[in-house]
Amino acid sequence: MTVLLETRGLSKNFGGLKAVSDVNFRVEKGEVRAVIGPNGAGKTTFVSLISGRIAPSAGTILFEGEDVTELPAYARVQKGIAYTFQITSIYQNLSVAENVALAAHQPGGRASLEPLARVGLADRASQIAGTLAYGHQRLLEVAMGLALKPKLLILDEPTQGLSDAEIDNFITLVRDVARDETVLLIEHNMPLVMELAHRITVLDRGSILAEGTPQEVHANAAVQAAYLGTG
């Protein structure tokens, strides 16, 4: 197995708060890795550090063996790290297709519609993005991430606001994406995580509480106590 992403001693403090604390983490190429944990565990902060949206207080981030800790976000995108944009970065007044074209840095709108087809939005290509339902805006974000042809696709709560049928489509989508790319998924929907992830990392108060296959994590007593609320 080849390690795609590794963090060593990765930490982020906000004042006195250790949002991410000394995290040593590895993702293999081709994996679907879920990061779960209670609210405030540090999941978004962790992936923001990996994508370069925020700078760490300490530690190192390696991508394909290269130290990318000091690289700005755009340079990490060029290396193949795509973080689905927060919804605010969708251009609400542009069409769905134009948003994908912009994400792919082809503002003339000549980008392939393939990313839209992959997320099931091809028939909405000409719709104004701001008029999409919330769940569809999340899928548009995923399409914008795919348009970058990433090696690592980071999805931050992608199924929020999706219907059950759309979540089923999303599972198919991630399996399809995972044939070519590695996926790092932050997700609160536990049945979905159990079904999709090869391995799960559980964050709690900024640190890794547990890591393993869905079965191992589900059976972990510390996880049940801290997260599943059944301990």
* Nearest distance from C-beta of residue 154 to ligand ATP, angstroms: 12
Give whichever of 160 and 163 is closer to ligand ATP, judged by the CB atom: 160
Give whichever of 42 and 150 is closer to ligand ATP, judged by the CB atom: 42
Give whichever of 38 and 214 is closer to ligand ATP, judged by the CB atom: 38
Number of residues binding to ligand ATP, judged by CB under 6 A: 11
75 binds ligand ATP (CB under 6 A): no
The DSSP secondary structure of 187-225, one letter per residue, reads -S-HHHHHHH-SEEEEEETTEEEEEE-HHHHHH-HHHII
Binding string to ligand ATP for residues 37 to 66, with x set by CB under 6 A, is what? x-xxxxxxx---------------------
Encode 153-191 in three state secondary structure. EEEECCCCCCCHHHHHHHHHHHHHHCCCCEEEEECCCHH
Give whichever of 147 and 202 is closer to ligand ATP, judged by the CB atom: 202
For residue 187, the one-letter residue type is E
Q: Are 7 and 25 in contact (CB under 8 A)?
A: yes
* Nearest distance from C-beta of residue 203 to ligand ATP, angstroms: 6
Structure tokens at 207: 């640190």
| Other CB atoms within 10 Å distance of the CB of residue 139 | 27
What are the backbone angles phi and psi of residue 138, rounded to the nearest 5°? -65, -40
What are the backbone angles phi and psi of residue 183, rounded to the nearest 5°? -120, 130
86 binds ligand ATP (CB under 6 A): no
CA distances to 45, 98, 100, 141 from 226, rounded to whole Å, are 19, 43, 39, 31
* Subset of residues 192 to 231 that bind ligand ATP, contact rule: CB under 6 A: none
* Subset of residues 9 to 28 that bind ligand ATP, contact rule: CB under 6 A: 14, 17, 19
Please identify, among the stretches 34-42, 95-103, 108-116, 167-175, the one whose residues bind ligand ATP according to the rule CB under 6 A. 34-42
Residues of the shown chain interacting with ligand ATP in the complex, contacts defined by CB under 6 A: 14, 17, 19, 37, 39-45
